[in-house]
Structure 1
């Protein structure tokens, strides 16, 4: 059903002039002042500045220069990216587009460019391009001019187009603001880690006095011990299996399996406060702290669980943060052997002989861990807010672009 006041049409009915393929020029080894977009330049959030390359200047490059307001569509790409579109907003001067893309302009007397920009990013249009693409389903596929010209559009009246675009633009601004806040928080956390974990910046103790005194070098083996809690196996029981992500991204629940479905019967119980090391992935930063959420879950024998030897000497939360540093990645690498980095074997006995330079007092360790955990919580909250905003916008976009939800527009006298 076509909503009242809306009409079915095609992209070719609202464009100005013809759709044009781009030109792929010779790459330049140095900056020439002229640029071309690479295949990965078109993203769902605009142009990726890292995918713009300098080119050798010729007449064809100049003929392919983009102007503000031009639309670009990826005509050759992977199945999930073919038909990806953006509106060029003069992000780069003297920028051209390659033969892998098509360019067109919207006739502003026939449609609102802001609305068309949103429409071309919709699930329906992207699915249309994907269904029309020719080529291998697992590699590069192509769409032609006829496909783009016949892009189906369901258009409301001009005032309603503008109102919808304005509403969704407000959501975009909220999303953009939250993304910036998230990026700032992530940068601040990174800076805090770099300063706090090497003693470059010292915090205040419980009396408001700044911590002082030299940090001490201590063997890891003098601070931590391995613990094993073997599981009494039962094929009828369910086991919540944990995994540790690379790049210090923490402990996660991998899957829940019945005992009879698990081939390796060697399993241990993990408790909150365990520091886990993946023997197979430690060179990639696969270490993390078990939180209360995963208390009494299970780990295979390919994981090492560590606890403090003396709770007065090391705070395990601090050690978890300390382990996120590059120097700890390097120590893990030095304590591993093998030809290929993906198949290296971790030597735990060598690792515990390595030394770490840490605060002499437990209080300073705990203060550092608390500050970094607070920064992490702020990032998590912002990420959740961002995810919610994107999901809400997606749902609203689906309703507004199909006419399921109508907006009020001022009547023209």
Structure 2
């Protein structure tokens, strides 16, 4: 049952969805109106331009609502509020024009719920790439409140959007600060007062390979490594190997990498929860030697500039072949003292912690707003409105 004063309406009854134009390279110019494409909905300011006389139906103004009917789930697909310059609309994007008097802010939020609904119902030709028909959008039902209620709902949700925007900017700044710190401290370009110069060492001065015999044949506790230094994970399903397949136990705290994905940055440290899990020698494991800070070492080798510089370790190039432990251990690097490793690790771990806190805060705000939207846009929670007191 609808709340008092509300009514049900399909998107098609409420809005007209006007498709963009299929601009071809021959239509592009050096100046004119920017052509708004999917990539521009993702934040790109790289435009092609149209210098001709546009059909008024293609023209997009700042503040217009757009709906990308082909795009990546959770990124470019669905409702977008265009805040960029006046432009002309490319194909695969609808311009949303209300057929009746509605609050733009409310309509945008309502279409965001439609976006999620369509994403859940659609089946793209790739897992996250969606391509829907207009009817998949226009037949979606909406609960439409009174205009005054729409305005109040939009006002409340805009406050949450502002908070989310601030949290997003804080996270972006923290990520940039962390990136600058890592680039300086892990390369030696940024020095810490009180420590001596870096010295030339072998990777083998920090770690040594471990080969603790494990199972043969079937194994139910297998390790794998996430790419780009994101850590070690486990696959606990039973895996069948031949009797000649040898597995080796991996212990908590060991450094581990993928021979095949070394040049993509596949490194990690085995966490306590995966102590005793096993892998073949495709995922070699190493014990740390004395006076080595494990977190510093992981960050040091996980830098793209480090593993990119080791292309010669893999016979056949980046995509082709393995990086063997012996070759890795012989790599020479400039490295700080143990005491400076600890200080670098402390600084970067603190930066990681700050990023994680800000990311959680942003996720929390998004989830809270989503929950509030479900309440406000369905009438389950009414907005209390107090008339101003008359003196």
Alignment of 1:97-176 (within 5 A): 97-106=89-98, 110-122=101-113, 124=114, 126-127=116-117, 141-144=131-134, 150-176=139-165
8 Å CA contact retained: 2:42, 2:76 = no
Please name the residue that 2:248 is paired with.
268
The answer to which of 26-35 and 318-327 deviates more is 26-35
Please name the residue that 2:206 is paired with.
223
Question: In the superposition, relative to structure 1, how do residues 412 and 362 fare at CA in structure 2: closer, same or farther (>3 Å)?
Answer: closer
Q: How much does 1:221 deviate?
A: 1.9
8 Å CA contact retained: 2:247, 2:279 = yes
8 Å CA contact retained: 2:12, 2:138 = yes
Q: Distance in 1 between matches of 2:251 and 2:224?
A: 14
- State the Cα deviation string for residues 9-57 of structure 1 (Å, max 9, x = none): 2345545xx643322334477742431122343xxxxx32327421241
Helix, strand or coil at the partner of 2:384: coil
Runs of 4+ in 1 over 6 A off after TM superposition: 78-83, 135-140
Please name the residue that 1:178 is paired with.
167
Please name the residue that 2:350 is paired with.
374
Q: Distance in 2 between matches of 1:158 and 1:306?
A: 66
Equivalent in 360, 364, 368 of residue 388 of structure 1: 364
Please name the residue that 1:34 is paired with.
33
Q: Distance in 2 between matches of 1:171 and 1:32?
A: 37
8 Å CA contact retained: 1:315, 1:362 = yes
Equivalent in 292, 299, 323 of residue 321 of structure 1: 299
Find out whether 1:211 has 2:204 as its counterpart: no
The answer to which of 315-324 and 188-197 deviates more is 315-324
Question: In the superposition, relative to structure 1, how do residues 81 and 173 fare at CA in structure 2: closer, same or farther (>3 Å)?
Answer: closer
Please name the residue that 1:398 is paired with.
374
Question: In the superposition, relative to structure 1, how do residues 406 and 254 fare at CA in structure 2: closer, same or farther (>3 Å)?
Answer: farther
- State the Cα deviation string for residues 207-234 of structure 1 (Å, max 9, x = none): xxx2243211111123321012223569
Q: How much does 1:377 deviate?
A: 1.4
Helix, strand or coil at the partner of 1:366: helix
- State the Cα deviation string for residues 105-162 of structure 1 (Å, max 9, x = none): 336x72111000000010x4553588699x9798774423x66555532112222222
Helix, strand or coil at the partner of 2:3: coil
Equivalent in 358, 365, 368 of residue 335 of structure 2: 358
TM-score norm. by structure 1 comes to 0.81
How many pairs were matched up? 385
- Point out where structure 2 has 5 or more consecutive residues left out of the alignment: none
Question: In the superposition, relative to structure 1, how do residues 369 and 30 fare at CA in structure 2: closer, same or farther (>3 Å)?
Answer: farther
Find out whether 1:2 has 2:7 as its counterpart: no
Question: In the superposition, relative to structure 1, how do residues 306 and 30 fare at CA in structure 2: closer, same or farther (>3 Å)?
Answer: farther
Question: In the superposition, relative to structure 1, how do residues 381 and 34 fare at CA in structure 2: closer, same or farther (>3 Å)?
Answer: same
Q: Distance in 1 between matches of 2:294 and 2:178?
A: 19
Alignment of 1:247-286 (within 5 A): 247-251=228-232, 253-258=233-238, 261-263=239-241, 266-286=246-266
Q: How much does 1:408 deviate?
A: 1.2
Please name the residue that 1:246 is paired with.
227
Q: Distance in 2 between matches of 1:379 and 1:242?
A: 27
Question: In the superposition, relative to structure 1, how do residues 158 and 290 fare at CA in structure 2: closer, same or farther (>3 Å)?
Answer: same
8 Å CA contact retained: 1:160, 1:407 = yes
8 Å CA contact retained: 1:268, 1:298 = yes
- State the Cα deviation string for residues 39-96 of structure 1 (Å, max 9, x = none): 343xxxxx3232742124111277633112322222445788897122223x12x421
Q: Distance in 1 between matches of 2:338 and 2:172?
A: 31
Equivalent in 303, 312, 315 of residue 334 of structure 1: 312
8 Å CA contact retained: 2:119, 2:130 = no
Helix, strand or coil at the partner of 1:346: coil
